[in-house]
Amino acid sequence: MSAEHIDIADLPEADLLDHRSALPQDQQRRLRELREFLDAEIRPHTAEHWSRDEFAPELAAKCGEFGLGDLRSPDTDSVFRGFVAAELARADISISVYLALHSDLVMATLDELGSEEQKQQWLPPMRRMEFTGCFALTEPDHGSDVAGGLATTARRDGDHWVLNGTKRWIGNGTIARIAIVWARDEADGQVKGFIVETDTPGFTATKIEHKIAVKIVQNADITLEDVRIPASNHLPGTSSFRDTNVILEQSRAGLAWQSVGAQMAIFDVARRYALERRQFGRPLAGFQLTQDHLVRIAANTTASVGIAHRMSQLRAQGTATMGQAAIAKLKTSQMARESAALGRQLMGGNGILVDREMGKIFSDVEAIFTYEGTAEVNTLIVGRALTGVSAFV
């Protein structure tokens, strides 16, 4: 059949093993509805915001109206939530990051480590997306080594804590209503978590300029100068850095699904282009090397879904480990990076254009490859799990 007479809707998706078909029918229906919403209301409108390096409040509001304020809804399981995360990343990686920061980091931290009073105060309006938050962990001089090197301090002063320090790469930092700030208690040297309202005197967030990836997300440098907060703003579930692991493991595992969604988008864009673009008198899809690129992208996507799917099952069982989360993030992000390069290559010069989508996706995948643990750090986490010996300095 000639490319002119092919309906893409009749062709298989990138996940050739169709993992989604194992979901209950109701969940499959909800995913179809989510994709229809994202394809109509979000995906077509992201390129302009991305190119201008600006937040898209109207798109965030639409996500809230659709019910995406809490991706950890109790009426869903971890596998379904994973497919939801993939659909969000397929539509736009920046929007998926924004929502993951809001839900899987800030709200999850409050839910897992906060007091009942803190949960009642902050979680209901966040579920309604009346405001968002940020997760202030990394610092200018401490990214991968933040566990041992975190320099931001917290000092108890009567009925208050006083925080001093700097944070960097804090997603949603310039638009957040609250910040979950991680600081080292001067009294015992342990890292603890605190809720800081961003209008507190001494708290300053400055947008990081000149990014080449996830440009809709507003990353910030944060400065804390004698920031005084009530003692009740300490997260009672945090007494050492180990307490962050429950959040970071969830987040790292979730990034496997983000890699899946990125590759779904890469495949969508590349295949459509291959069927529509003609060279030498025929569609690109009719050339063997083009089909090779598409097959490799589909194979990477299919394998990534399998990894992410299994990781979600382990989390649902309560048996997931940091080593498993690390290898899931490591391998799926590696495959996403290869798929992005293949998609960009297939589209030639058009592959670097944002309005053709591939240029935006190609750049955003570079961020996925780095955040929530670089490939090198995740490799060492897996190596430690496999050998019992830590290679960290």
Predicted confidence (pLDDT) at residue 207 exceeds the cutoff of 60: yes
> Sorting pLDDT into bands at 50, 70 and 90, what band is 250?
confident
| pLDDT given at position 4 | 62
| pLDDT given at position 244 | 76
Across 72-81, 243-252, 272-281, 358-367, least confident range: 243-252
3-class SS of residue 309: helix
Predicted confidence (pLDDT) at residue 1 exceeds the cutoff of 60: no
H or E, element range at 91:
helix 78-91
> Sorting pLDDT into bands at 50, 70 and 90, what band is 176?
very high
- Which tens digits make up the pLDDT trace of 113-158? 999 999 999 999 999 999 999 999 999 987 666 666 899 999 999 9
| pLDDT given at position 72 | 78
Structure tokens at 273: 């282009």
Going along the chain from its start, the domains and CATH numbers come out as: 8-128 (1.10.540.10), 133-239 (2.40.110.10), 242-387 (1.20.140.10)
Predicted confidence (pLDDT) at residue 14 exceeds the cutoff of 90: yes
| pLDDT given at position 128 | 92
CB contact at 8 A, 161 and 234 = yes
| pLDDT given at position 76 | 76
Cα gap 316→314, rounded to integer Å: 5
Q: Give pTM, 2 decimals.
A: 0.92
| pLDDT given at position 7 | 85
Cα gap 216→207, rounded to integer Å: 12
Q: Which parts of the chain are beta strand (E)?
A: 133-136, 153-157, 160-171, 178-185, 191-197, 203-207, 219-230, 278-279, 282-283
Predicted confidence (pLDDT) at residue 62 exceeds the cutoff of 70: yes
| pLDDT given at position 177 | 98
- Which tens digits make up the pLDDT trace of 217-234? 999 999 999 999 999 999
3-class SS of residue 183: strand
Across 89-93, 168-172, 213-217, 319-323, least confident range: 319-323
Predicted confidence (pLDDT) at residue 329 exceeds the cutoff of 90: yes
Average pLDDT along the chain = 93
Predicted confidence (pLDDT) at residue 198 exceeds the cutoff of 80: yes
Burial class (CB in 10 A: 0-12, 13-18, 19+), 209: exposed
Averaged pLDDT for residues 65-91? 89
DSSP code string of 11-44: S--S-TT-GGGGS-HHHHHHHHHHHHHHHHHTGG
DSSP state of 56: -
